[in-house]
Amino acid sequence: MAHLLSISRAARLVGVARGALQTKIKAGELQSFDGMVEADELLRVYPGVHLDDDSELERVARIKDRAFGKRVFERSLPDKEVLAARIHEIGRELAESKGQVKFYQDLLDRFGARLGELGASEGGKIMAEQLKEWLGQELDQGVGVVPPGLAGRDSYLRVVAAQVKLLPSNREFFLEGNDTVLEAALRAGAPIGYGCSSGNCGQCRAKVVSGKIKYVRPHDYVFTEAEKNQNFALLCSCTAVTDLVVEAVVAQGPADIPFQQITAKVKAMDYPGDDVMVLQLLAPRSSRMRFMAGQSAVIRTGSFSAELPIASCPCEERLLQFHVRRMPGNHFSDYVFNRLKVGDAVEVEGPKGEFVLDDDSARSLVFIAWGSGFAPIKGLIEHALSLDAAENIHLYWAAKTAGDIYLPNQCRAWEDALDNFRYTPLVAGGAHGTSGVHWDKWLRELLQPVRQEHPDMKDLDFYVAGPEALAEATRSLLLEWGVPAGQLRVGNVA
Ligand code: FES
């Protein structure tokens, strides 16, 4: 019997990005049917994968952890009850498979006996010999037998992580440890609707179409009779015992995210350069900020405010990161640099803006950040890493001086940790105005590596962020170089 795997599970098993498998399917190199891949087809395309140990799985997990820098996910096992239920489910399937194997073994024995009878008759002797020979060859080749390494690894994955599929979007993600379905969805970059995230408002309620859940967080929301009958659950409070299929609305774009006002606390203030601060805010557990990676928010502190790109992704859950430029004379900047301190309350309003990732695209991604345009680009990159959909990611950070590239270690860490990530700093030297022939020449020369390293611009998605003049000039240049307008998104930062 064919061993079918979802694309997400198949990618996990062979340790590649989901986007890499989708590219192979698109190119006809890997056969799939209805979003599933056969195990032996997977092994045909990835024959070099070592399935007899879990070092590759661990390697991929480590890569993800390192890629996210300080935010190392806690890789804990689910609680005993969930583990027992998953092992029980696998045991049930094993018993079922054993029954089937026994049935086919008996059938084979009876077939052999019938062949013997046929061979005893004069007329059937030759045919019986040929059939016997054919059967022997087929059995020797072990046609259709899933290698034990693959089956074992698949079972192991199913015990430590449940797979969740969202309908109607067909998004899939894995849930590890004792995470709630909401937490796992956010980590995987699936923007499902929620409100309080503490079991009270009911905004995260969704219909469980198949699979078993278990409540692991307190919850007070009371379901109606109709909701109970339709198997509704609170995704912020339950985890997945088995693989799940859930009907849950996923935000398709910025318009689907409501405007919110929250009060967050300053968690950390780091200074990667003299003129920039990485400001980390922590939202309260009961009112997190919903946003899409790449969007902005207004920060109010003291009596001053500024709209800044959010430099983290929703997968960071309660953490919101902003990059604040030192601008002497600017009231907001002066207040943040001189008076704000860890533990202070800060009002955050938003989200704002349309500079978000095209989640439906499986094309490779090229990001171009100009100076502090790195902030929204960082959020987009982290979101893209969570989605695991792009086959390759290339980041160019362009700046007038090397000092303007204020988080080079973060970029190098991505490049070191991820096989499919490249980072290229582009340092231009002195200022060249914002228009005119010399400026145009300067811009073209600086961005020339983008063109040379990606002659296939039509097959890529481009994201550009920076001060308006630079970002818009880059847009014009990329269009001139052949990037389709629908594959180019530009975000302006102050
Ligand atoms: S988000 Fe409010 S109950 Fe789940």
Do residues 108 and 174 both lie within one domain?
A: no
| Ligand 1 center from residue 317 Cα (angstroms) | 14
Q: Ligand 1 centre from 195 Cα, in Å? A: 5
Same domain, 151 and 186: no
Residue 94 falls within a domain, yes or no? yes
**Domain endpoint, select from 134, 155, 176:** 155
Does residue 483 share a domain with residue 471?
A: yes
**Residue 203 near ligand 1, beta carbon < 6 Å:** yes
Lowest mean pLDDT among 54-58, 196-200, 458-462, 490-494: 54-58
Q: If you average pLDDT over residues 256-272, what whole number do you get?
A: 94
| Shared-domain flag, residues 467 and 414 | yes
**Cα gap 34→43, rounded to integer Å:** 19
Lowest mean pLDDT across 51-65, 140-154, 172-186: 51-65
Residue 369 near residue 318 (C-beta atoms within 8 A): no
Asked whether the predicted pLDDT for residue 65 surpasses 70, the reply is no
For the entire predicted model, the pTM comes to 0.78
Is 73 within the bounds of a domain?
no
The pLDDT, as a whole number, for residue 70 is 42
447 with 484, same domain: the answer is: yes
- Per-residue pLDDT at 2: 61
Q: Ligand 1 in contact with 223 (CB < 6 A)?
A: no
> How far does residue 388's CA lie from ligand 1's centre (Å)?
27
Given a cut of 60, whether residue 118 has pLDDT beyond it is: yes
Please tell me if the CB atom of residue 199 comes closer than 6 angstroms to any atom of ligand 1.
Answer: yes
What is the mean predicted confidence (pLDDT) over 328-355? Answer: 96
Nearest Cα residue to 16 out of 459, 419, 414, 461 = 419
Residue bearing tokens 């345009």: 373
Q: Measure 203 CA to ligand 1 centroid, in angstroms.
A: 5
**Quick one: which atom of ligand 1 is closest to the CA of 194?**
1
CATH number of the domain to which 340 belongs: 2.40.30.10
Strand residue runs (E) in 238-378:
238-240, 244-247, 260-273, 276-282, 296-301, 304-309, 319-325, 345-352, 364-370
In this predicted structure, what is the pLDDT of residue 428?
A: 81
200 CA → ligand 1 middle, Å: 5
Which residue CA neighbors atom 1 of ligand 1 most closely? 197
For 375-384, the pLDDT digits (tens) are 999 999 999 9
Q: 204 in ligand 1 pocket by Cβ < 6 Å?
A: yes
On whether residue 68 sits in a domain, the answer given is: no
Q: How far is the CA of 191 from the centre of ligand 1 (A)?
A: 14
- Residue 184 CA to ligand 1 centre (angstroms): 15
Nearest to 426 by CA among 392, 455, 450: 450
Per-residue confidence (pLDDT) for residue 31, from 0 to 100:
86
Average pLDDT over residues 389-405: 90
DSSP-derived secondary structure letter, 250: B
**Would 439 be classed as within a structural domain?**
yes
Query: Is residue 75 scored above 50 in pLDDT?
Result: yes
Residue 485's pLDDT band, with cuts at 50, 70 and 90, is very high
Residue 185 Cβ < 6 Å to ligand 1: no
Dist. CA 306 → ligand 1 center (Å)? 30
Mean residue pLDDT across the chain? 85
pLDDT in the model for residue 430: 62
Instruction: Indicate if ligand 1 lies below 6 Å from the C-beta of 232.
Output: no
Q: Residues of the chain with pLDDT > 90: what percent?
A: 47
Q: Is the CB of 200 under 6 A from ligand 1?
A: yes
- Last residue of one domain, picked from the residues 293, 325, 352: 352
Q: Are residues 376 and 301 in the same domain?
A: no
Residue 62 has pLDDT above 60, yes or no: no
pLDDT class for 159, splitting at 50, 70, 90? confident
Distance (Å, rounded) from C-alpha 103 to C-alpha 40? 23
Position 200 scores a pLDDT of 92
Asked if residue 84 belongs to a domain, the reply is yes
CATH number of the domain residue 236 falls in = 3.10.20.30
Note the pLDDT tens digit of each residue in 301-313.
988 999 999 999 9
Q: Which of 332, 352, 372 is the last residue of a domain?
A: 352
Provide the pLDDT for residue 53: 47
Q: Give the pLDDT score at 144.
A: 54
pLDDT of residue 277: 96
User: Average pLDDT for residues 180-201, to the nearest whole number?
Assistant: 90
pLDDT higher than threshold 60 for residue 50:
no
- Shared domain for 385 and 445, answered yes or no, is yes
pLDDT band at 73 (very low <50, low <70, confident <90, very high): very low
What confidence tens digit (pLDDT) does each residue in 442-457 have? 899 999 999 999 998 9
What is each CA distance from 414 to 233, 409, 419, 420, in whole angstroms?
A: 37, 9, 9, 9
| Ligand 1 centroid, distance to 234 Cα (angstroms) | 6
Same domain, 250 and 261: no
Instruction: Give yes or no: residues 379 and 449 share one domain.
Output: yes
CA–centroid distance, residue 236 to ligand 1 (Å): 6
Query: 2 CA to middle of ligand 1, Å?
Result: 40
- What mean pLDDT comes out for the span 36-56? 68
Assess whether the C-beta atom of 196 lies below 6 angstroms from ligand 1: yes
Min mean pLDDT across 31-45, 165-179, 338-352 is at: 31-45
The CATH number covering residue 466 comes to 3.40.50.80
Q: What is the number of domains present in the chain?
A: 5
pLDDT digits 0-9 by tens, 20-29: 787 788 888 8
**Residue 151 beta carbon below 6 angstroms from any ligand 1 atom:** no
359 domain-assigned:
no
**With a 6 A CB cut-off, is 233 part of the ligand 1 pocket?**
no
Residue 420 covered by a domain: yes
Determine what percent of the chain is predicted with pLDDT higher than 70.
Answer: 89
313/427 same-domain check: no
What's the confidence (pLDDT) of residue 71? 43
Please classify residue 285 by burial: count the beta carbons closer than 10 Å to its beta carbon, then call 0-12 exposed, 13-18 middle and 19+ buried: exposed
The more confident residue out of 1 and 275 is 275
Check pocket membership of 202 for ligand 1, CB cut-off 6 A: yes
Per-residue pLDDT, 64: 57
Range of the domain at 179: 164-254
The amino acid sitting at 189 is G
Task: Identify whether residues 377 and 475 lie together within a single domain.
Answer: yes
Neighbouring C-beta atoms of residue 111, cutoff 10 Å: 14
Least confident of 11-15, 106-110, 253-257, 363-367: 11-15
Query: Which numbered atom of ligand 1 lies nearest the CA of 236?
Result: 4
User: 347 near 300, Cβ under 8 Å?
Assistant: yes
246 and 143 belong to one structural domain: no
Q: Is residue 124 part of a domain?
A: yes
Question: Is the shortest distance between the CB of 236 and ligand 1 below 6 Å?
Answer: yes
148 or 95: which carries more pLDDT confidence?
Answer: 95
Q: Which atom of ligand 1 is nearest to the CA of 197?
A: 1
